[in-house]
Structures are given as structure tokens and as C-alpha cells.
Chain A
């Protein structure tokens, strides 16, 4: 595995552990952690802090009937599906969202494709497929945006992002990410806030990097 240079910032790991992000951000963080031992251990450390807070919390008695229900259920058979594993370039949480099927790509022009995994009023998360040399479409964000590279690489003002790297951006920064020449770049991109969903800005239609 290539070494990861761009990780999830600490305040986002903490927010993930505390559950204060949305589904889309959770997806990118869970996907990155699935690929990155460093962030997995930082996440575990925040869980330890969460556990310490739990230990210090004042107890509230639980009902006897609930306790009895739980005890009774211990021997009941339970059929839980085993969680999906990573497949190809797609980490386990992405495979989960894809229900184990290959992504259904939607053509965006100039060879760029997307597959929306989830969208609600809190945010959206999609897979992007960008041929080498093309610009990554601007998803019209106006909040936090996380982009995780699953295949290939892109580069912009923030540096070079290869497999496993996460770019964290917000609307205060203007980025023009461009996929590296070579194999197509596949990213998992989450944006915050209700989207101008279809407002993918068509700058990708212009040819970039004509070498």
C-alpha cells in the first residue's frame, strides 16, 4: 500500500466518534480509517476518551423489565449479515453503500462519471471517476468537503493526493484539482449542506493539461 500523506484532521475524528457529523462525512471518514492504520489508532484514542466520559457519567437506573428482556434474548438465535469487505478499490463502507454491487455510473461529459451513494439535506456523498488529465468537477460546495482518493491521484493548490489521501476543503479555499495523467482517478467525495445537487460546474468540459 502506498503511504498516506493526507489524513483526517483530529477535530473531525473526534466529531466522528461523538457522532456529530452527517452520513456523508461519516462515510468518507469510515472509508479512510478502513485504509489507514494511523487514523484508526487516533480514532481508537478518541473512543477511549469517549469511554472515559461514559465511565464518569451519572447512572440512571434501568427498568427491571428491560434487563429481563436482554437476559432472555441472550440465547435467542440472531441472524446478522456479516459486514461487507473491501472489494477492488472500494473500501468496506463504500461496498456497504453499494450493497455489494458495482457502482452505477452516470456520465457527466468529457469521460467524467459519478455515482451518488447517498444524499439528504445534511449532505451528499458520491463516487467520482475522472480520466487522467481532467479536472475534478466542482461539486458546488458551500461548506465542508472531504475527498478521498481510491485510485490514481489528483493534484491542486493543496498538494498531491494519492490513494488513501483525503483533501479537506471548505468554501474559503478555491481549489482546482486535476487528475494525474495515467489511470483514471476515482474519488469518494462528501459535501456538506443541502446541495445544488446537479450544479456540477461544467469546467470539466474544458480540456485541461493538453500536453
Chain B
């Protein structure tokens, strides 16, 4: 097999790799050696980091197959037709690939990042104009991955999901409606029965972590 001699000679398993894999591995080595996805991370986070750092299409396919059907289900639940939902899923999933460099696992779980991309796209389509979004934080040039921060965020998210599971069906439905965008801000405020107690305390715990992280990011 014809190959270019790329700088991967230290890799003892090279013989088994396809040319594409070699290129990917070389890119990875060239980029951050330190950002080898940790096994402690959820699969979604590992895939997303591989997409971001290595433009790994296999990992992207895994993400696609995980999120696209959920997004479609979510969008149809919020009242969109099959065709409308597919269009938005297509755009959103493409954005996941194109905006991957903005993904920061210290500040967002993959599911929340994908949720917001799809939500913004859905609103743009409905309103036929770009929705105002906050300015992106500037990513530090050299990202040192803080595994404990990332794992901590994922654990918080796990607890949040557990908290959602323990709600009564009515309460869960209320939360779903709220995040589907089916409640007005007045509804959200007035539904005093909104079972946000547990959720909120979970969110707050998560916040402390996020806030700490944000303070560390130097803007401008």
C-alpha cells in the first residue's frame, strides 16, 4: 500500500490503520496531545471531543444516530410536521459538525449543546430571522482539559436526570412542556406547582460549578 510518511512513527499499531485513520491520528497528535478523551467521560462527550479535535466522522455518525432521532421526536412533540422536523434536524446536526470547535465540555454537556443549537434553529425557521444569542465566550488558545470538571458536570447532569425520573408523570410533563417551549413566561412564573424545587437545587449545584469555570475564562 502506498503511504506518505507522516509523523506517526512512534505509533506501534500503524500497520493496522487505513490511510484515513492515519491522517486522523496524525492530526490528533499535531493538535492536543493532552486531549485524549478520557474513558471516564460519557460516550457522547468522547464522540464530541473526537469530532472537535480530530474531525472524526465515525464519532460524528455515532452522535448523529444518537441525537437525530431524539431531536426529531422532540420537534414533532412540539407540534412540527415530519418534514419540518427533518429539515431542522438536518440543519442542527450539520451545525454540530461545523460549530464543533465551540464545544467546551467544561461548560456544557453534549445534550444541552445540541438542544440549544436545535432550539435556536427551530426559532430561526419559525420567525424567519436570526434569533439574538449571547456572545460566545472566547475559547482560550491552549485548552488544558480539566477532567475532574468535565466528569463533575456529567455527574450533576446524571443527578438532574435522576431527579426528573422521580417526578410524578404530571410534574414531568410540566417540565417537558416548559422546555418544549409550550409555556409562556407567565405560565412558567404562575405555575407555582411547577415542580422545579428539586430541579432547581440540582441546577444550582451545577451552576456553582459552571460559574467557577466561567470566572476562569478570560474574556476580551
Q: Is the CB of B108 within 8 A of A62?
A: no
Answer whether residue B130 sits at the interface, using C-beta atoms and an 8 A cutoff: yes
A30 to B72, CA, bound (A): 26
Contacts A11-B189, A18-B179, A30-B134 given; does A52 touch B161 at CB 8 Å: yes
Contacts A15-B184, A19-B122, A23-B129 given; does A43 touch B134 at CB 8 Å: yes
CB neighbors of B among A52-108 (8 A):
52-63, 66-67, 69-71, 73-74, 78, 80, 83, 85-86, 91-93, 96-97
Question: Nearest 3 CB-CB pairs, A to B?
Answer: A51-B112, A51-B111, A92-B135
Q: A185 — which chain B residues lie within 8 A by C-beta? A: none
CB neighbors of B among A1-53 (8 A):
9-12, 14-15, 17-21, 23, 25-27, 29-31, 33-34, 37-38, 40-53
Q: A119 — which chain B residues lie within 8 A by C-beta? A: none
Contacts A67-B64, A86-B135 given; does A50 touch B157 at CB 8 Å: no
Answer whether residue A144 sits at the interface, using C-beta atoms and an 8 A cutoff: yes
A34 to B206, CA, bound (A): 20
- Considering residues A11, A42, A56, A74, which has the most beta carbons from chain B within 10 angstroms of its beta carbon? A11
Closest to B86 in A: A66
Task: For B73, give its contact among A20, A59, A63, A74 (CB under 8 Å).
Answer: A59
- Considering residues A10, A49, A73, which has the most beta carbons from chain B within 10 angstroms of its beta carbon? A49
A-B contact pairs, 14 of them (CB 8 A): A14-B188, A15-B185, A19-B123, A26-B131, A26-B132, A30-B134, A44-B112, A45-B203, A47-B113, A54-B70, A63-B86, A66-B86, A73-B94, A93-B133
Q: Is the CB of B73 within 8 A of A47?
A: no
Segment at the interface with A among B1-9, B13-21, B143-151, B208-216: B208-216
A92 to B134, CA, bound (A): 7
Q: B73 — which chain A residues lie within 8 A by C-beta? A: 57-60
Answer whether residue B32 sits at the interface, using C-beta atoms and an 8 A cutoff: no
B116-137 vs A: 1/0 string, CB under 8 Å? 1011101100010111111111
Q: Is the CB of A62 within 8 A of B94?
A: no
Q: A66 — which chain B residues lie within 8 A by C-beta? A: 86, 89-90
Interface residue total, chain A, C-beta cutoff 8 A: 64
Answer whether residue B43 sits at the interface, using C-beta atoms and an 8 A cutoff: no
B131-170 vs A: 1/0 string, CB under 8 Å? 1111111000000000000000000110011001000000
Main secondary structure of the interface of B (DSSP, over half): helix
Main secondary structure of the interface of A (DSSP, over half): helix
Answer whether residue B71 sits at the interface, using C-beta atoms and an 8 A cutoff: yes
How close is B161's CB to chain A, nearest CB, in angstroms?
5
Closest to A43 in B: B134
Which positions in A face B, CB cutoff 8 Å?
9-12, 14-15, 17-21, 23, 25-27, 29-31, 33-34, 37-38, 40-63, 66-67, 69-71, 73-74, 78, 80, 83, 85-86, 91-93, 96-97, 144
